[in-house]
Amino acid sequence: MSDKINVKSGDRGLVWVFAVDLEGGEAANFNRRNGEWPAQKALGAETLDPEHVEVFPVSDLEGVGLAGYLEDGMGVPADQLEDMRARLDAQSGWVMVVTSKALDGKAQTLTPRAPLRLIGSFSEERPAVSFKTLPSESAKGTVSGGSDKTDVPRQRGWLWAVVGVVALAIVLTLVLVAK
């Protein structure tokens, strides 16, 4: 396979789908086998976190389909899948889904080769960031979160009064015991 995938440092929300041209047990062990990781080698990745790589038979997605899995399970917008939906749902055998999280934010060039075939690249939907004011009254206040400054001296004065009474009692007790 001559396709190269250039991943930039800090790329987020990307999803790559590969066909895995292996059968049964060999495909099932493609993600991990005897301490080695054939998937990383076949992908040509310097870094690959197995927590963000899935290898599974498409038949596991019966009733949902690969396009439905990408849309509902991976957050790929429907408009990205529109032109590929038929191809994705016609896919059989095993697939490998890799997210950009698997690459640990590091820039690298992936050079996928047999038994991998790139089916498609997608990006996860990201909701727009909103900085609206929170509706609750309890959300209002100051950054420091401190209370009204007039309350502080009164609280300290009460505390010092208690400390003074206790200290006076101790001194009186010592004086009486010493006589």
**Is 136 a residue whose pLDDT tops 60?**
yes
Tally of CA atoms within 13 A in the half-sphere of 9 that contains its CB: 0
Lowest-confidence range among 49-58, 101-110, 155-164?
A: 155-164
Q: How do residues 55-74 score in pLDDT, each as one tens digit?
A: 999 999 999 999 999 999 99
- How does residue 35 score in pLDDT terms, banded at 50, 70 and 90? low
Tally of CA atoms within 13 A in the half-sphere of 89 that contains its CB: 13
Identity of the amino acid at 81: L
DSSP states of the chain: ----EEE-TT--SEEEEEEE---HHHHHTSS-BTTB-HHHHHHT-S---GGGEEEEEGGGGTTTHHHHIIIIIT---HHHHTTTHHHHHH--SEEEEEEGGGGTT--EEE---TTEEEEEEEE---PPP--PPPSSGGG-S-SS----TTHHHHHHHHHHHHHHHHHHHHHHHHHHHH-
CA distance 36 to 19: 20
**Is 76 a residue whose pLDDT tops 80?**
yes
Mean per-residue pLDDT of the chain: 84
Q: How do residues 20-31 score in pLDDT, each as one tens digit?
A: 999 877 887 777
Mean pLDDT across 111-140: 81
**Is 148 a residue whose pLDDT tops 60?**
no
Q: Which of 73, 106, 102 is nearest to 6 (CA)?
A: 106
pLDDT at res. 165:
85
Lowest-confidence range among 67-71, 115-119, 165-169?
A: 165-169
Q: Which residue has the tokens 């957050």?
A: 75
Mean pLDDT across 96-107: 92
For the chain, domain boundaries = 5-123
pLDDT at res. 1:
43
In sequence order, the 6+-apart residues with CB closer than 8 A to the CB of 69 are 61
**Is 2 a residue whose pLDDT tops 80?**
no
